[in-house]
Chains A and B, each alone.
Chain A
Amino acid sequence: MTVEIKDKNGTAIAVLSGDIDLSNSPEVRDSLVKAIAESKNVIADMSKVEYIDSSCVASFVVAFQEAKKKNSRFSLAAVNPKAMRVLQLARLDKVFTIHNSVDDGIE
Chain B
Amino acid sequence: MSDLDIVNESVNHLALIAEMNYKFTKTRDIKKVLQKGLELVAAHLDAEAASVFLQNDDKSELICRACTGPIDIEGLSIPANEKSIIGEAVLKKTSKLVRDVTKDSDFDVNVDKKTGFVTRSILCAPLQFENDCIGAIEVINKRAGNGLFNEQDKKLLEALGSSAALAIKNARMAKELIGKEVMRKELELAAEIQRGLLPENLPDDFPVHGINVPAKTVSGDFFDTGELKDGRIWFNLGDVSGKGMNAALLMAKTSSLFRCLAKTIHSPGKLLAIINDELCETNSLGMFVTMVGGFFDPATGKVRFANAGHEPPLYFNSESKTFIDFPADAPPLGIVKDIVGSEGYPEEEINLNGDSFYVFTDGLTEAKTNKKELGDKGVRKLISNISELPANEQPKALLDILNSTKTKLNDDVTFLVVNHHKKLLSMQIPAKAENLKKIRTKIKKAVEKCCSCEKTIHDIVLAVDEACQNIIRHAYKEYRKGNDIIIEVSQNGDNIIVHITDFAPAVEPDKIVPRDFNDIQAGGLGTSFIREIMDKAEFIKPPKNAGNLFEMVKKVKK
| A residues with CB within 8 A of B | 19, 21-23, 51, 53-55, 57-59, 61-62, 82, 85-86, 89-92, 95
Contacts and interface: CB of A to CB of B under 8 A. Distances in A.
A90 B532 CA distance: 10
Interface of B: 432-434, 436-437, 440, 455, 458-459, 462, 465-466, 469, 472-473, 517-518, 520-526, 528-529, 532-533
Given A54-B529, A58-B522, A90-B517, A22 B462 contact: no
A86 B473 contact: no
A53 B520 contact: no
B337 to A, nearest CB: 67
Contact of A61 (B433, B520, B529): B520
A89 B437 contact: no
Sorted from nearest, which 8 A-B pairs have the closest CB atoms? A23-B433, A54-B525, A22-B433, A58-B522, A54-B526, A91-B517, A21-B436, A58-B523
Given A85-B455, A91-B517, A62 B437 contact: no
A54 B469 CA distance: 9
B523 A55 contact: yes
Given A89-B532, A92-B520, A57 B525 contact: yes
A8 B17 CA distance: 116
A61 B469 contact: no
Contacts of A23: 432-434, 436-437
Contact of A85 (B440, B458, B469, B520): B458
Contacts of A21: 433, 436-437, 440, 465, 469
Contacts of B472: 22
A85 B528 CA distance: 14
A89 B533 contact: yes
A59 B465 CA distance: 17
A67 B466 CA distance: 27
Contacts of A90: 517, 520, 525, 528-529
Nearest to A83: B458
A62 B465 CA distance: 21
A72 to B, nearest CB: 18
A82 B453 CA distance: 13
B539 to A, nearest CB: 19
A32 to B, nearest CB: 12
A91 B528 CA distance: 11
